[in-house]
Amino acid sequence: MYEALGLDAQRTILIAIMLALGVAGIAALFVGLFARTKIRLPYSAEVGFVALLVGLLIYGDATSTSTYRAYEALLPREGEVGVADEAPAGQFDKNVRVLAFQWGFLFFDGDKALRNVVQVPPGARVLFRIGASDVIHGFNVPAASITAELEPGETRYVWLRAPDRPGKYLIQCLNYCGLGHAQMKAWLVVGEPAEEDHDGAEEA
Ligand code: CUA
């Protein structure tokens, strides 16, 4: 998602061109005001200059639209994500029980219990059944734009569609839950299965 906000090479070049044009324009203004001999530009130069500006405008609009489209494609579609107190209807590719504790997440995936990491295939529909063992925690997956509040003794269901792009996606606690709150992170690993348990939070 940072691509949507960052300045990639194209945009940096565009900004450099606009800055150069701005500086050239101000310089031309001063030359026009203070130069002893008046310089006359041919009309073709004016037409060319306006065409350059229009071209930049169209190019800028096209790149900004494509950036937004790419961002939009990452957003979850209707029904793909949700939070509820009851198990949602429908089939899921993966069902994972989660325990939030001071300070971390335990993922029960089949016969494995993994600390701070859960493995899912790209694009899989995943259902998390989450409980908190001690105090109020949160379960936030920024890549799926979803957050749930977890109260001890209660069960919350969170479902999402895993990103299509393999990689490590952050899961974090969003409710202040004591000294270790800031370190209460886990990874949603999309792609290849991990060889062993590992504490993802330390790699952050
Ligand atoms: Cu758990 Cu903050």
**Could you tell me the residue ranges of all domains in the chain?**
9-74, 82-200
Q: Which residues contact 153 (CB under 8 A, 6 or more apart)?
A: 131, 132
Question: What number does the ligand 1 atom closest to the CA of 132 have?
Answer: 1
Q: What are the tens digits of pLDDT across the range 51-72?
A: 988 998 998 899 889 888 887 7
Task: Give pLDDT, residue 50.
Answer: 92
167-192 tens-digit pLDDT: 999 999 999 999 999 999 999 999 86
> Which pLDDT does position 193 carry in this prediction?
58
Return the CATH number of the domain spanning residue range 82-200. 2.60.40.420
* pLDDT attached to residue 179: 94
How many Å is the maximal CA-CA distance in the chain?
87
In angstroms, what is the span from residue 145 Cα to ligand 1's centroid?
A: 18
Q: What is the pLDDT of residues 108-148, one digit of tens each?
A: 988 889 999 999 999 899 999 999 999 999 999 998 889 99
Reported pTM: 0.60
**pLDDT at 19 exceeding the cut of 90:** yes
Q: Which long-range contacts (CB under 8 A, 24 or more apart) does 48-54 make?
A: 52/21, 53/21
Average pLDDT, the chain: 86
Q: Closest Cα to atom 1, ligand 1: which residue?
A: 137
Which residues, judged by CB distance below 6 Å to any ligand atom, belong to the binding site of ligand 1? 103, 137, 173, 175-177, 181, 184
Write the burial class of residue 67 (CB in 10 Å: 0-12 exposed, 13-18 middle, 19+ buried).
Answer: middle
> Per residue in 179-196, is it b (16+ CB within 10 Å) or e — as a string?
eebeebbbbbbbeeeeee
pLDDT value of position 72: 78
Query: How are beta strands 117-120 and 185-190 bridged, if at all?
Result: parallel
H-helix or E-strand spanning residue 127? strand 125-132
Alpha-carbon distance values, 8 to 12, 13, 69, 128, 188 (Å): 6, 9, 16, 36, 27
